[in-house]
């Protein structure tokens, strides 16, 4: 009897495992499950508030955020970014010539999948490509000028709902799946995945930091972090997350990070752009 029961259990487990392996990618279902998970986990948090990261997690932190927004630390970056954005390149052209709607109010459409290239194009990558196409040297992906430019572009898009598309190209679906795999894969000596902090433990403390929920995490980029005493881009955030788990970070804008941004942005579709943000 016992033997038969064990055998049946093994068969059920094997069937479950094979069913999982056969599952077809379904980004729309993923997005629904992802958002529902956070909404159920934090029933008191307003849907739109998830974009405020740790500041959405409790009343006290939310109050801190409201006070911070009176004199936001990212303000200088927005002003610098605006000046940079509107200053023409040496050839007379400007950033506005490289983007739809002259680059205003378009943050919610990045990253996108470029079917010609077969890869994900992030806003940071598009900005440097724009510079290079106009004879200018690319910027460092992590901070300073890149953070200011993306801060300004995010600021002009505030309130727009994240709207990432996955076209019918199988390579787009592959990029999305690669991003998802990267998000859930444990790495570094501490054996942490992105999800360990931002799915399993948002709202909890890790040392002095309050962890942000993964839902809406991209909507606030770039961010001013008190810990950095300055602005940082999405690239900077990914790199520092990796090194905090004792993993050697990849190159900024590597395929893995671009795919990760694609996945994380897609599952936050429908939430407003709140960038640039401020974080502890």
Partner 1 sequence: MSVTRNIALAAVLVMAGAVPVRAASEADFKAAFSAAEAAEKQADQLRNKWTTTESELATAKKAAASGDFDAAIAAAKEAEALAQASIYQATSEKTRWKDLEIR
Tell me the CA distances in angstroms from 209 to 11, 65, 176, 189, 230, one per residue in order: 44, 15, 29, 20, 17
Please pick, from the candidates 181, 230, 240, 280, the single residue that binds partner 1 as defined by CB under 8 A.
Answer: 181
Give the total of residues touching partner 1 (CB under 8 A): 25
Q: Which residues contact 219 (CB under 8 A, 6 or more apart)?
A: 51, 162, 268, 271, 272, 273, 274, 275
Active-site residue identified among 130, 194, 197, 241: 241
The answer to whether residue 84 forms part of the interface with partner 1 (CB under 8 A) is no
119, β-bridge pairs: 114
- Nearest CA-CA partner of 103 in 81, 120, 118: 81
Q: Which is nearer to partner 1, 139 or 192 (CB)?
A: 192
Please pick, from the candidates 108, 193, 219, 233, the single residue that binds partner 1 as defined by CB under 8 A.
Answer: 193
Q: Is the peptide bond before 222 cis (omega within 30 degrees of 0)?
A: yes
Site for partner 1 in 216-275 (CB under 8 A): 243, 246-248, 250, 256
Please pick, from the candidates 6, 9, 86, 185, the single residue that binds partner 1 as defined by CB under 8 A.
Answer: 185
Instruction: Tell me which stretch binds partner 1 (CB under 8 A): 27-35, 106-114, 121-129, 232-240.
Output: 27-35
Q: Give min distance, CB of 184 to partner 1, in A.
A: 4
Q: Which residues contact 187 (CB under 8 A, 6 or more apart)?
A: 193, 242, 245, 247
Please pick, from the candidates 186, 204, 205, 227, the single residue that binds partner 1 as defined by CB under 8 A.
Answer: 186
Please pick, from the candidates 86, 159, 184, 206, the single residue that binds partner 1 as defined by CB under 8 A.
Answer: 184
Instruction: Tell me which stretch binds partner 1 (CB under 8 A): 87-95, 140-148, 196-204, 228-236.
Output: 196-204
Indicate the helix (H) or strand (E) that contains 114: strand 112-114
The answer to whether residue 144 forms part of the interface with partner 1 (CB under 8 A) is no
The answer to whether residue 203 forms part of the interface with partner 1 (CB under 8 A) is no
222 torsion bin: left (phi>0), alpha (psi -120 to 50), beta (else): beta
Q: Which is nearer to partner 1, 2 or 20 (CB)?
A: 20
Give the C-alpha separation, 214 to 200, whole Å. 10
The answer to whether residue 173 forms part of the interface with partner 1 (CB under 8 A) is no
Instruction: Give the DSSP letter of residue 273.
Output: P
Give the C-alpha separation, 225 to 263, whole Å. 23
Which is it for the CA torsion 138, 140, 145, 146, positive or negative?
Answer: positive
The answer to whether residue 76 forms part of the interface with partner 1 (CB under 8 A) is no
Site for partner 1 in 36-75 (CB under 8 A): 37
Q: Which is nearer to partner 1, 87 or 189 (CB)?
A: 189
- Nearest CA-CA partner of 215 in 64, 30, 16, 77: 30
Q: Is 241 a catalytic residue?
A: yes
The answer to whether residue 196 forms part of the interface with partner 1 (CB under 8 A) is yes
Residue numbers annotated as active site:
241
Residues that bind partner 1 (CB under 8 A): 20, 30, 33-34, 37, 180-181, 184-189, 191, 193, 195-196, 199-200, 243, 246-248, 250, 256
């Amino acid at each position: 009897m016992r033997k038969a029961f064990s055998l049946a259990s093994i068969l059920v487990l094997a069937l479950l495992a094979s069913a999982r392996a056969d599952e077809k990618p379904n980004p729309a279902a993923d997005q629904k499950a992802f958002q529902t998970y956070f909404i159920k986990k934090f029933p008191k948090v307003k849907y739109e508030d998830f974009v405020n990261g740790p500041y959405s997690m409790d009343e006290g932190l939310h109050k801190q955020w409201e006070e911070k927004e009176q004199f936001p630390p990212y303000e200088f970056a927005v002003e610098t970014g605006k000046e940079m954005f509107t200053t023409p390149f040496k050839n007379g052209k400007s950033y506005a010539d490289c983007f739809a709607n002259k680059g205003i109010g378009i943050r919610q459409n990045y990253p996108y999948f470029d079917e010609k290239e077969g890869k994900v194009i992030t806003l940071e990558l598009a900005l440097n490509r724009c510079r290079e196409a106009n004879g200018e040297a690319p910027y460092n992906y992590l901070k300073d000028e890149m953070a200011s430019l993306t801060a300004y572009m995010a600021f002009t898009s505030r309130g727009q709902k994240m709207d990432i598309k996955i076209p019918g190209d199988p390579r787009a679906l592959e990029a999305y799946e690669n991003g998802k795999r990267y998000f859930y894969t444990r790495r570094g000596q501490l054996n942490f995945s992105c999800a360990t902090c931002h799915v399993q433990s948002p709202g909890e403390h890790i040392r002095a930091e309050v962890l942000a929920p993964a839902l809406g995490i991209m909507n606030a980029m770039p961010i001013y972090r008190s810990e950095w005493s300055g602005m940082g881009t999405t690239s900077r955030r990914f790199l520092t997350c990796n090194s905090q788990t004792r993993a050697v970070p990849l190159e900024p804008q590597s395929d893995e990070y671009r795919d990760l941004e694609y996945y994380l942005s897609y599952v936050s579709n429908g939430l407003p752009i709140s960038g640039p943000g401020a974080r502890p």
